[in-house]
C-alpha cells in the first residue's frame, strides 16, 4: 500500500458540452466546406519599392476570400527609417488611422456591378462579429491579417479579404489604398460571373448535414 491510497479520490466534475460558435455568413467563410479555388494572378499595385498582388479567390456558396500579398523592398532608407517601415508593415491598421484630412493605413474595398460597395476602413471584423446577429446591408468586406516577415532588405505580408455575398455577374472592382507608403487609391476589375460559376464546385465536408 502506498501513502496516497489512504485518501479518497473525488470524482471529476461533469464537463458540459460547449456549443460551437457559427459565425454569420457576412462575417466569415463557412467552417466545414472545401472552397473552389479560382486563380486570379493580378497586381493591384507595382512600383520600384512595393508590390501588392491578388493571388487567388477561395469561393464558397456564401461569398469568397481573396488571398493577397505584398512585398516592400528597401532602397536608400536609413536604419531608423527602415525600422519605421517595419512597424507600419506589421501593424497595418486592422483599424484605420485618420489624419486631419483623410484616412491612412491599409484599406481595401469592393464595388459590385450595380454600384453597391463596401470597404474595410468602414466596418472592421470585430464590428461584424459583434453585430448582435443583425444582418448588415450587403455587401460586406472583412480584412483578416495573415502576418508577415522580413529583415534588413525587404518585408512581406499577406491577408485574406472575406467578401459577402458573391458578386453578381459583371465587373467586380477591387480597390486598395495605403497612404503610409504612398499608395493612392488604385483598383482592378475582376469577373463576377467567373466567381459565381466557380461556387458550383464547392464541396461540403459532411454532405448529409
Domains identified in the chain and CATH numbers: 23-95+104-204 (2.60.40)
| Residues 87, 152: Cα–Cα separation, whole Å | 13
In the predicted model, is pLDDT for residue 103 greater than 70?
A: no
pLDDT in tens, 129-163: 445 557 888 999 998 877 777 777 888 889 999 99
In the predicted model, is pLDDT for residue 35 greater than 90?
A: yes
User: Across 93-97, 99-103, 155-159, 197-201, which has the greatest mean pLDDT?
Assistant: 197-201
| Residues 71, 164: Cα–Cα separation, whole Å | 27
Mean pLDDT value of segment 115-119 = 94
Q: What is residue 209's three-state secondary structure?
A: coil
Quick one: pLDDT at residue 139? 94
Amino acid at each position: 500500500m502506498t501513502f496516497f491510497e489512504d485518501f479518497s479520490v473525488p470524482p471529476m466534475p461533469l464537463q458540459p458540452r460547449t456549443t460551437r460558435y457559427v459565425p454569420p455568413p457576412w462575417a466569415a467563410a463557412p467552417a466545414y466546406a472545401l472552397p473552389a479555388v479560382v486563380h486570379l494572378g493580378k497586381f493591384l499595385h507595382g512600383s520600384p519599392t512595393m508590390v501588392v498582388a491578388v493571388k487567388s479567390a477561395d469561393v464558397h456558396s456564401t461569398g469568397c476570400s481573396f488571398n493577397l500579398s505584398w512585398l516592400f523592398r528597401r532602397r536608400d532608407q536609413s536604419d531608423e527609417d527602415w525600422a519605421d517601415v517595419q512597424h507600419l508593415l506589421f501593424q497595418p491598421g486592422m483599424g484605420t488611422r485618420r489624419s486631419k484630412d483623410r484616412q491612412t493605413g491599409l484599406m481595401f474595398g469592393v464595388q459590385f456591378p450595380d454600384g453597391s460597395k463596401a470597404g474595410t476602413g468602414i466596418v472592421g471584423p470585430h464590428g461584424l462579429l459583434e453585430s448582435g446577429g443583425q444582418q448588415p446591408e450587403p455587401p460586406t468586406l472583412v480584412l483578416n491579417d495573415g502576418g508577415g516577415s522580413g529583415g534588413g532588405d525587404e518585408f512581406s505580408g499577406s491577408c485574406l479579404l472575406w467578401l459577402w455575398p458573391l458578386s453578381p455577374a459583371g465587373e467586380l472592382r477591387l480597390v486598395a489604398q495605403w497612404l503610409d507608403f504612398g499608395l493612392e487609391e488604385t483598383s482592378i476589375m475582376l469577373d463576377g460571373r467567373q466567381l459565381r460559376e466557380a461556387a458550383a464546385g464547392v464541396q461540403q465536408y459532411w454532405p448529409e448535414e
